[in-house]
Structure 1
Amino acid sequence: MHWYESAVWNPNVITFIVMLGIGCKHFVNAPPSAPVTASNDITFATTAASSVISWCTMTPDAGVYHSKNASSLRIFLYTYIGLFKASITVHFLGVIFAASAPNVPTWEAGFDNGNNIGGIINAILSPLSGFGKFLTALLALSIPSPCAPTMYIFGSSFMTIGSFFAKVPRYVYVIISEAILIPVAIVGATQFYATFVDVLSLIGYWSSAFAVIVLVEHFVFRKNDFSYKMEDWNQPRRLPVGLVAFLAFFCAFGIIIPSMSQVWYTGPIGIPVGCAVALVVYLVLRSIENSWTGR
């Protein structure tokens, strides 16, 4: 899977360059359809952040390929720049083509009001006839690339819960995750944009709280010390109890729910408030737990 992930982006880059070459003559500086408010800015920023923050639960798996003698700063910069470049590039491409679509009838028809990403890509590449369809197919075949790590970590996460789960072959978890993913994808495909924003925001809510808890544990309680005792991973008596992490996580969601802005509920800002609550609750309760248990 790691080899696949390291190679699958190449056809996408080629396709994006071709799309820019073909579509650049249609690009316009489209004015906003409505005045941009602070709420719009925060919503866009948190949604964009969610697409990157969600990788925080998966990136440690790639750490097995890092040399233990490698510079921490180097690993951080490689990871940060890699995520930053990929995220910013694709976001900008999406903004450019989506903003220009209303001025190109074929693009607008293919885009279907934001519900058909494949449709607008196919419309942009349509002047290339068969080669354009080939590039569209390549992009479609690259879709599993962001899903594969999720399925992989889905199994790994269950296997670390307890010895019983570790005895189950990893491919079983992959099949289970696929069984969950397919019906969700079928339903979401009919309303792609709304589903994408809602799911991505929901992922951002929980993964941002998770990230804060992990960062506080590492920098505050482990003093930024990377010398973790790997042999203790399946020795519960040598590890933190974990109850504090659960409490901090659910307390964060307790404030996120009245603060989020989604189709099913409207409130102010969820992710920043949830992160703040997770930080404070975990910092206080973990200090108490550490003083009682010494671990």
Structure 2
Amino acid sequence: MHWYESAVWIPNVITFIVMLGIGGKHFVNAPPSAPVTASNVITFATTAASSVISWCTMTPDAGVYHSKKASSLRIFLYTYIGLFIASITVHFLGVIFAASAPNVPTWEAGFDNGNNIGGLINAILSPLGGFGKFLTALLALSIPSACAPTMYIFGSSFMTIGSFFAKVPRYVYVIISEAILIPVAIVGATQFYATFVDVLSLIGYWSSAFAVIVLVEHFVFRKNDFSSYKMEDWNQPRRLPVGLAAVLAFFCAFGIIIPSMSQVWYTGPIAKAGTGDIGIPAGCAVAFVVCLVLRSIEKSWTGR
């Protein structure tokens, strides 16, 4: 899977370059379709952040490639720059093509009022004929590059919960995750963009709280000292933290995330007050405070 992930981006980059070459002449400095408000900016920032934060649960697996001699700063910069460049480039491409679509009839028809990203890409590449369809197909086939790591982590995460789950072959979890994924894909196929944003935001809510809890453990309670992690204890539950503080902090975070979220299917009272979707920053703040307090108590009682 790591080999696949390291190579699958190449067809995408080629396709994006071709799209820029063909569609560049149609780019315009489009005015906003509606007044820009602070609420809109915050909600958009939350969605954009969700697409990057969601990778945090997968980074530990990539850690097997890190040299023990590499500094923390170096690993941080490599990871941050890699995510930043990849994300900002695609975000800019999406913005400029979507903003220019209303001025090109074929693009607008393919885009279908902003609900069909695949149709927009196909319309942009249509002047190339069969080669354009081939590039569109390649781009579509790269979508598993986002799904496969999630399915992989779904299995490995269950296996870390308890010894019972570890006895189940990993491919069983992959099959279960696929059984969940296929119905969601079928339902969301007709409204891909709206479904994608809704699901992505949900992932961002919980993964941001998860990330804060991990960072609190590492920087506050382990003093940024990697030697405090005893590798030989990885499968010895009695030597590991109980985890109750982390679980409670996670659920407490959702106590503020839910009233602070702003989605098509639900808008909380705090978001309705005009703040926009502040679910991620609010959830992070609560997770930080609660984890700090409860983990201190947990550690004083259990000594681990």
TM-score normalized by structure 1?
Answer: 0.98
TM-superposed CA distance for 1:76, in Å, is: 1.0
User: Does the 8 A contact of 1:257 with 1:270 survive in 2?
Assistant: yes
Post-superposition Cα deviations, 1:236-289, rounded to whole Å, max 9, x if no partner, equal 111111111111010000111111111232137211111100000000111111
What SS class does the counterpart of residue 160 from structure 1 fall into? helix
TM-superposed CA distance for 1:114, in Å, is: 2.1
User: Does the 8 A contact of 1:27 with 1:96 survive in 2?
Assistant: yes
Give me the identity figure in percent: 95
Post-superposition Cα deviations, 1:77-116, rounded to whole Å, max 9, x if no partner, equal 1111110000000000000100011111111111112222
TM-superposed CA distance for 1:214, in Å, is: 0.5
Q: Distance in 1 between matches of 2:153 and 2:12?
A: 24
Post-superposition Cα deviations, 1:188-230, rounded to whole Å, max 9, x if no partner, equal 1111121111111111110110011000110000000115212
56-65 vs 106-115, which moves further: 106-115
Aligned residue in 1 for 2:221? 221
| CA RMSD after TM alignment | 1.0
Aligned residue in 1 for 2:82? 82
Q: Distance in 1 between matches of 2:186 and 2:108?
A: 23
Within the candidate set 263, 278, 283, 2:287 is matched to 278
Q: Distance in 2 between matches of 1:121 and 1:60?
A: 34
Matches within 5 A, 1:193-272: 193-226=193-226, 227-267=228-268, 269-272=278-281
Q: Distance in 1 between matches of 2:178 and 2:258?
A: 28
TM-superposed CA distance for 1:294, in Å, is: 1.2
Q: Distance in 1 between matches of 2:133 and 2:167?
A: 44
Q: Which runs of at least 4 in structure 1 moved beyond 4 Å after TM superposition?
A: none
What SS class does the counterpart of residue 113 from structure 1 fall into? coil
66-75 vs 129-138, which moves further: 66-75
Aligned residue in 1 for 2:49? 49
Matched, 1:25 2:9: no
Q: Distance in 2 between matches of 1:239 and 1:258?
A: 34
What SS class does the counterpart of residue 32 from structure 1 fall into? coil
TM-superposed CA distance for 1:147, in Å, is: 0.7
Q: Distance in 2 between matches of 1:55 and 1:37?
A: 29
TM-superposed CA distance for 1:72, in Å, is: 1.6
Q: Distance in 1 between matches of 2:190 and 2:136?
A: 20
User: Does the 8 A contact of 1:251 with 1:277 survive in 2?
Assistant: yes
Q: Distance in 2 between matches of 1:219 and 1:11?
A: 39
Q: Distance in 1 between matches of 2:11 and 2:195?
A: 26
Q: Distance in 2 between matches of 1:272 and 1:71?
A: 29
227-236 vs 97-106, which moves further: 227-236
User: Does the 8 A contact of 1:248 with 1:282 survive in 2?
Assistant: yes
TM-superposed CA distance for 1:65, in Å, is: 1.4
TM-superposed CA distance for 1:37, in Å, is: 0.5
TM-superposed CA distance for 1:156, in Å, is: 0.4
Structure 1: segments with no counterpart, 5+ residues: none
What SS class does the counterpart of residue 266 from structure 1 fall into? coil
Aligned residue in 2 for 1:130? 130
TM-superposed CA distance for 1:127, in Å, is: 0.6
Post-superposition Cα deviations, 1:159-186, rounded to whole Å, max 9, x if no partner, equal 1111121111111111111111011011
Q: Distance in 2 between matches of 1:228 and 1:287?
A: 17
270-279 vs 227-236, which moves further: 227-236
TM-superposed CA distance for 1:17, in Å, is: 0.3
Q: Distance in 2 between matches of 1:263 and 1:116?
A: 17
What SS class does the counterpart of residue 30 from structure 1 fall into? coil
Q: Distance in 1 between matches of 2:266 and 2:102?
A: 30
Higher relative contact order (CA 8 A, sep 6+): 2
| Number of residue pairs aligned between Structure 1 and Structure 2 | 295
TM-superposed CA distance for 1:38, in Å, is: 0.5
What SS class does the counterpart of residue 209 from structure 1 fall into? helix
What SS class does the counterpart of residue 184 from structure 1 fall into? helix
User: Does the 8 A contact of 1:114 with 1:192 survive in 2?
Assistant: no
Q: Distance in 1 between matches of 2:73 and 2:150?
A: 26
